[in-house]
Amino acid sequence: MATIKLGDLLIKANVLQEGQLKAALAEQQKWGGRLGEILVRMNLITEEVLVKALSRQLGIPAVNLDAVQGIPPHVKAKLPVEMARDLVAVPIQLRDDGKTLVVAMAEPQNVETVDMIRARANTRVMTQVAGRTAIMRAIARFYEGEADVSDFEGSFKVVDSQGRTVVKSLKEIEAQAGAAVASAAAAPASPPPVASRGPVSLSDVPSVGKRPAENPVEILRAVEDVQRKEVAAIKAMVELLIEKGVFSREEYLAKVRR
């Protein structure tokens, strides 16, 4: 039985229209890349929908990595962090007395990648489908010791002048915003200077009122949204260059880690 194409599957599921699929296929023909990731990048479907569709298309179970509480050290040792990041895969558990490694992958249909994991772990490999961004979040949580995803709810990621990412809680930002507004309200308002041009009536003087203070939270939301779009565009460009053979993923990672 032939495997149904991803685009046809999404159309039959009423989550994608013919015109949207044609637009994505045109983008794929022009720039290359995987159709599913192109659909997500074009905001035509969500990553969650893509994972469900791939699971049905490939007959491979999907996994919600955000619900995984932890990964034992001996399981993580089967796939080093550099390899996990390069292959966009994360080991979840060992089964069959350590003979089978369950791995969440963005591309479980990639036989070469599965073979690489099998050779490194020296076990059988059972694949499950997960989203690319969900896998990278899991790698950050379980390998790199970052806080759990729930700890970042209500937080903003702000890049400082040195390019370092600073994570601030929403409560902290709101407290600072409230203090700034209170300070501005307490300060005496000084009327704007009026140019000397003879007698001035009261109607000529602009009314002095309290200008509504700009909300720092909204400003940060806008900054974060712009940064998110820029990062997504850069990631897409890097993936395209790798797929076109301009440079390898290893060369790219070696460069950014300097």
Q: Where are the domains of the chain?
A: 6-58, 65-152, 154-184+216-246
pLDDT at site 237: 76
pLDDT of residue 241: 76
Q: What is the pLDDT of residue 215?
A: 65
- Strand (E) or helix (H) holding 253: helix 249-256
Burial 101-134 (b: 16+ CB within 10 A, else e): bbbbbbbbeeeebbebbeeebebebbbbbbbbeb
**Do residues 249 and 86 make contact, with C-beta atoms less than 8 angstroms apart?**
yes
Residues 16/46, Cβ–Cβ less than 8 Å: no
Tell me phi and psi for residue 166, to 5 degrees: -115, 125
C-beta separation of 92 from 74 below 8 A? no
Cβ neighbour number for residue 91 with a 10 Å cutoff? 24
Q: Which one is the CATH code of 65-152: 3.90.245.10, 3.90.330.10, 3.30.300.160, 3.90.110.10? A: 3.30.300.160
Please identify every stretch of the chain with a pLDDT value under 70, giving residue numbers as ranges: 1-2, 146-224, 226-228, 231, 244, 250, 252-258
CB proximity list for 122: less than 8 A, separation 6 or greater: none
Q: Of 69, 53, 60, 40, which is closest to residue 7 (Cα–Cα)?
A: 53
Chain centroid offset of residue 161 CA? 22
Q: Please report the pLDDT score of residue 144 as a whole number.
A: 79
C-alpha closest to that of 118 among 131, 133, 106, 105: 105
